[in-house]
Amino acid sequence: MLAFLPPQIKGILSILLYTINTIVLTIPLIFISFFKFIIPLHNIIITLDKILISIATLWIGINSFNSKLFCNIEWDIRGLEKLKKKEWYLVLSNHQSWVDILALQSTLNQKIPMLKFFLKKELIWVPFLGLAWWALDFPFMKRYSKAQIKAKPHLKGKDLISTKKACEKFKHTPVSIINFVEGTRFTPEKKALQQNNNFTHLLNPKAGGIAFVLGSMGEHLNTIIDVTIVYPDKTPTFWEYISGKTKKIIIDFQIIELTNSLTGDYFNDPEYKKYFFSYLNDLWQKKDARIESLKNNI
């Protein structure tokens, strides 16, 4: 609508709208979430969770409107019709930019349960967003390093136990847990630094994070959504995206049934660890080929 404005003006107005939207809607999120502690009754909690998710859905909707207002993006979305709103999902995606999160939220809003991330415990201190994530029951993880576990062996498995406890609240409300499998954003420089990287468009997948999610929530998840995000022109920065410089985004959704063979004790079962790593590597090879095909058939 306002795509005719200069990029700098669009970027400033867009980030102002993002900020106002976040501050205004975080306030009722925090206020309502406190009632979950004051009145810890099962039916009340479920009702309040639905209200909180509705507020978060509105926040995402306004952000999506923000994008449409200042950007003129051609969206090429594939496989969206296979997804359901009342289902538990594990979402696996390649990762190139912070724009990935905005693009996925915009595309999947009200198509599947709200996307939730496993977050580092320190992120709760991010202004406004940290409190919003807490209010929406995003799982905050405290991971212990090998050195910490070696010094204090009783810490082994504590992170998994605490995360399982955090995920108990997802039993009654469908949820979509997203994991960026590479663990960081793809750049050619990062790829060059990785040993045994046989991919063209991806970094090596990290199996531990997904195994952590499956170990915490495996009994509640039914389906994996394999997401492939492609930016045909160039990978945009957040500023380039909100300034209207992104012209086209391709998102491909593939459905994978979560079978018993994909769940196991990754950290203590060497055979399962070997199998799961092989499975994930094969999935990533197919994704790499899909990206190549999508780029060549624009």
Query: Which domain, by its residues, includes 230?
Result: 74-296
Query: Residue 100: what pLDDT?
Result: 96
pLDDT in tens, 225-269: 999 999 998 999 999 999 999 999 999 999 998 888 888 887 788
The model's pTM is 0.88
Phi-psi region of 66 (alpha: psi -120 to 50; beta: other; left: phi over 0): alpha
Locate 48 and state its tokens.
């309040």
Q: Report the CATH number that the domain containing residue 169 is assigned in CATH.
A: 3.40.1130
Mean pLDDT is highest, among 53-67, 76-90, 164-178, 262-276, for 53-67
33 in a domain, yes or no? no
Backbone Cα Rg of the chain? 20
Query: Residue 158: what pLDDT?
Result: 63
Residues 6+ apart with CB under 8 A from 151: none
173 in a domain, yes or no? yes
Top pLDDT among 1 and 61 is at 61
Among 88, 82, 43, residue whose Cα is nearest residue 223: 88
From residue 97, give the alpha-carbon distance in Å to each of 52, 72, 101, 186, 242: 27, 19, 8, 8, 13
Query: Residue 226: what pLDDT?
Result: 96
Query: Residue 143: what pLDDT?
Result: 64
45 in a domain, yes or no? no
In the chain, the amino acid numbered 96 is: Q
* Cβ density class 48-87: b for 16+ within 10 Å, e for less: bbeebbebbeebbebbbebbebbbebeeeeeeeeebeeee
Count of domains in the chain? 1
35 in a domain, yes or no? no
Query: Residue 160: what pLDDT?
Result: 65
5 in a domain, yes or no? no
9 in a domain, yes or no? no
Query: Residue 87: what pLDDT?
Result: 87
54 in a domain, yes or no? no
Query: Residue 63: what pLDDT?
Result: 94
27 in a domain, yes or no? no
